[in-house]
Structure 1
Amino acid sequence: MDNLKAIVIGAGMGGLGSAIALKQAGYEVEIYDRVSELRPVGAGISLWSNGVKVLNRLGLGKEIAQIGGQMDVMQYCRHTGELISNIDLAPLVAEVGQRPYPVARADLQAMLMSVYPGEIKLGHTFIGLEQDDHSVTALFENGHTATGDVLVAADGVRSIARKYVLGEAVDPRYGGYVNWNGLVPMSDDLAPKNMWAIYVGEFKRASLMPVAGDRFYFFFDMPMSKESAATGGDIRDDLSRFFAGWADPVQTLIQRLDPKKTNRVLIHDVEPLNGLVRDRVALLGDAAHATCPDLGQGGCQALEDGFVLAHYLMTTNISVVDALKRYETERKERTSAIVTKARSRAEQIHGKDPIATQQWYDQLQHEKPSDVTDAIAKIILRGPMK
C-alpha cells in the first residue's frame, strides 16, 4: 500500500500514537482536532507494561522512562489506615518483561507531540464523512475537507464517527461513580516515593501513584447516582465530607491538593461495540472502546490499537478495507473483554452489590501477592506485544 494517506481525527493518546506508527510506516498523515489548544483530559494515567511496550516499539523507550514514575510496590490499606496487603511488582516485571509507568498526562502528550513530525491542525470540528471505493473524506464545521485512503477516528468517548460506522448511535454509559484527580508534590507523609498506595473502604477509594518530577498522581472515587453527580460543590469541602474519618495521609492529601488544578470527572464507558470499522474508516481508542479506568488499560488499549492498525496496513496488501477488517477482528475481541472486565471491576470496587464489595475487601487481605501480579500479567500478555 504505497503512498497511503491517513486522516486522523483526534490528537489524544490514541490519535497521536497511531499517527506516529503510520508515519514510521512511511505513510502520509494529517491530524485534526476540534480544540484550539491541546490540553490533556485528566492529570495522570497508569501505563501498564503492554502500553509501554508499544511506545518502546515506536522508539520512545528512553522518553517514557524519563517521564514515568518508579512504581515498585502496590499497597492496599483500609480507609482507616491498617495495612491490607503489600505487593512487590518485581515478579510482574520479570514475567512480562517491562516496568509499568504512571505518568502525568501533560508529560505524555508533550512527549508524543514532540516526536510526531507533522502539523496538528487544531480548531477543526469533525462533523461527518463520505467515502467511495477509492477514498474517504472528512468534513469539518469550518468547511474544510480532508481526503485520504483511510480515516482513523480517534475522536473520543462521544465520537461522531461511531454512529457512521455502526449505523446507530451508541451513547456512553455512566459508570456509577465520580473521580477526582490531580497532582501533588511527593512527600513521605503521603506515601513512599516508589509506591502505589491505595486506600479502600465504604465503597470508595483514595490513591497515590508516583510520576516524574517528584510528584504523585492522586485520585479519589465516590459512588454516586447520576443525578447527584451532575453538580459538585467546593472540591476540598466535598472530599473532606466524603472521606471524613479516613487515614491521616488521605486527610493530608485533601488539604494539600490544589482545588483549581483538581479534575472532577463523571466516569463513563461504552458498551462493547458490534463493529469497529466500516470500509475505510476505523474507530480507535475511546471512540471504539471507552472503558472504566479500574483496570488502568484505557490508554494502553488506544496505543495497542494504533500499533495493530499500522501493522495490518503495512503488512497486508490486498486492500485498505481488508487490512481494516483484520484490525477489527484482532482488536474487537481484546477490547470487548477489557471493557467488560473493567465495568465488572468498577461495580465490585464501588458497591453496586455491597456484599460483593465486602467479599473483595476480605479477598484483598487473604490473597497472595502473586495472585494479584498474575492477574495483571494475564491482561498484559493477551495483547499484541508479548
Structure 2
Amino acid sequence: MTPYRIAVVGCGVGGMAVATLLADAGHDVTLYERFGEPRPLGAGLLLQPTGLKVLHRLGIEAAALDMGAHIAGIDGRTTRGRKVLSLRYGQLDARLHGLGIHRGVLFRLLFDRLRRSPARLVTASEVAGIETTAKSATLRFANGAATASADLVLVADGAHSALRAQAGVRFRAPLYPWGCLWATLPDRENRFAGVLHQRFRDSRVMIGALPVGRQPDDPDGEPCVTVFWSLPARDIDAARAAGIAAFKANVLRHWPELGLPLSHLHDMDQVASATYRHVAMPRWSRERAAFLGDAAHGTSPQLGQGANMALLDAAALATAFATAPDITAALAQAEAARQGPARFYRQASHLLTPFYQSRFAPLGWLRDLAFGPLCAFPPTRDMMLSTLAGVRRGWLGTSPVNADGRPDIPMV
C-alpha cells in the first residue's frame, strides 16, 4: 500500500470515521475543523445495522450499545390513534435492530477514537476554498493562514457544504421546504422505550419521539427521548419567537402523552432547529477532491439514514485505499460501491417525504389508508423493512445478513 497525504474537511460523523480508518491504515491524515472546539450538530439519531457494522469495525460498537437505546422498530399513528406504520426489524431478521443514540454520545465515541489514531486534528481552521489538479489538492483557509497541500482532500462538511462549488463538481442542493425543532428530554419512566414513535395529522403535522439512551455528560443517568416537531422551514424563526409555552402547547395538542418529557422544557434555548438539503451529485469526486456523507448525497431525515450513510462511505473509502493501486482507482471503487445505495435512499426519501411533510393534506390521507396494509403484506413489508435497516442496494437489490448477524455490505 502506498501511503498518501490526505486532508479531511469536517469533524462530523463521516469525517472522523474516514480520518480514523485511513490513519490507522498508515496514511498521513490531517482533519481540519472550522470550530475552535469540535462539537456535535444535530438531534438524536437512529443508527441502523449498517452503521453499527462500521462502529464495530472502528471498535466502538459495544460502547455505543451501552450508551444508546435498543430500537426494535417503528410505531406510527395518526393523532387520533389509528395505526399507520408498524415495522419490526425482527420480521426481516431476528438478529437485526436499530440503536437510538444522542448525537453527542456518538460524537464523543468517534472523537475519542480519532484521538487514539495517528490522525492529526487542526481546529479553528475553516476551509474556504479548494484547488485541485490531477496530482494534488490545495486548501485555502478563511482566517488567512498559509495554504495546505495534500495528495487528496476528502470533504465531509455536511449538506450545507460551501465547498462543492469550489471543487468544480456538478451538483444540485436545494433546501428542503420543511425542517424541525427538537429537544432531548428525560424519559424517567421509559414510556417511550423500545421503538421510534411517530404521530401524524395528514401531511401537515409530524411529531417523533426517539429513545436515545443516556446523555453524553451523564453516562450513569436516566434514559432520554428526543422529541421532533416537523414544520415548514420558513416558520422556524416564528415558532422560536412564539416562546416555549406555545411550542409545548402545539405539540401537546396533537400528542398529550408527551406531557411528562415536555415538563422538563422551560426555555426555547433547550430547543434546537434543523434544516435539510436534497443533494444530488452525479460524481462524488473531481481530480484530487472527493465528497462523502451529506456533502455528497444529503436528504431529508425521513428515512433516518444520514449518519449511517456517512459511516458506510468512510468504510468504503478505507477499503478501497487498502486494495486499489492508486488514488484515482480507489475513489472509483468506493464510488461504484456506494452510488447505487445512496441514489436509492436519496430517491426514496424524495418520494416519501411529501406523504409526511407537505401542505397537500390528501397525501397524508392516502398514507393513512395505504401504509397499514403495506406493512402487513409480506413483500411490501420486507421492502419497507430493508429500506429502514439500510440494507437496500437499490430498487431491486438487498444486502443479505451474514452468519454473525451483520449485513453483508460491499466494501464495508
How high is the TM-score relative to the length of structure 2? 0.84
Give the aligned partner of residue 322 of structure 1. 329
Write the deviation string for residues 232-258 of structure 1: whole angstroms up to 9, x where unpaired: 324423424533532321344433335
Matched-pair contact (CA < 8 Å) for 2:72–2:98: no
Unpaired runs of at least 5, structure 2: 215-221, 394-398, 400-406
Write the deviation string for residues 8-66 of structure 1: whole angstroms up to 9, x where unpaired: 00000010011112123221211001111222112311111111111112222212212
**1:104: Cα distance to partner?**
0.3
Letter in structure 2 aligned against 1:221? W
Query: Tell me, what secondary structure is at the counterpart of 2:253?
Result: coil
Matched-pair contact (CA < 8 Å) for 1:6–1:28: yes
**1:230: Cα distance to partner?**
4.7
1:140 aligns with 2:141: yes
C-alpha distance 85-237 of structure 1, shift in aligned 2 (>3 A): same
Distance in 2, matches of 1:288 and 1:84, equals 32
Matched-pair contact (CA < 8 Å) for 1:52–1:98: no
Distance in 2, matches of 1:73 and 1:331, equals 25
Give the aligned partner of residue 21 of structure 1. 21
Give the aligned partner of residue 131 of structure 1. 132
1:263 aligns with 2:306: no
Give the aligned partner of residue 354 of structure 1. 361
**Range moving further from structure 2, 370-379 or 191-200:** 370-379
Letter in structure 2 aligned against 1:17? A
Query: Tell me, what secondary structure is at the counterpart of 1:198?
Result: strand
Give the aligned partner of residue 110 of structure 2. 112
1:176 aligns with 2:183: no
**1:337: Cα distance to partner?**
2.2
Across the aligned residues of Structure 1 and Structure 2, the Cα RMSD in angstroms comes to: 2.5
Write the deviation string for residues 262-294 of structure 1: whole angstroms up to 9, x where unpaired: 2122x3213311221011111111111111000
Distance in 2, matches of 1:8 and 1:327, equals 16
Matched-pair contact (CA < 8 Å) for 1:161–1:283: no
Query: Tell me, what secondary structure is at the counterpart of 1:288?
Result: helix
Letter in structure 2 aligned against 1:351? S
C-alpha distance 303-235 of structure 1, shift in aligned 2 (>3 A): farther
Distance in 2, matches of 1:50 and 1:322, equals 24
Matched-pair contact (CA < 8 Å) for 2:169–2:281: no
Query: Tell me, what secondary structure is at the counterpart of 2:279?
Result: coil
Query: Number of paired residues?
Result: 379
Distance in 2, matches of 1:312 and 1:18, equals 12
C-alpha distance 73-133 of structure 1, shift in aligned 2 (>3 A): closer
What is the aligned-residue identity percentage? Answer: 21
Give the aligned partner of residue 292 of structure 1. 300
Unpaired runs of at least 5, structure 1: none
Task: Please show how residues 221-260 of structure 1 align to structure 2 within 5 Å.
Answer: 221-224=229-232, 226-231=233-238, 232-243=240-251, 245-258=253-266, 259-260=268-269
Matched-pair contact (CA < 8 Å) for 2:375–2:384: no
Given candidates 350, 375, 382, the residue that maps to 2:392 is 382
Query: Tell me, what secondary structure is at the counterpart of 1:174?
Result: coil
Distance in 1, matches of 2:130 and 2:270, equals 36
Distance in 1, matches of 2:209 and 2:300, equals 18
Write the deviation string for residues 326-372 of structure 1: whole angstroms up to 9, x where unpaired: 22333233222212211222211123432222111122443445544
1:121 aligns with 2:122: yes
Distance in 1, matches of 2:354 and 2:375, equals 23
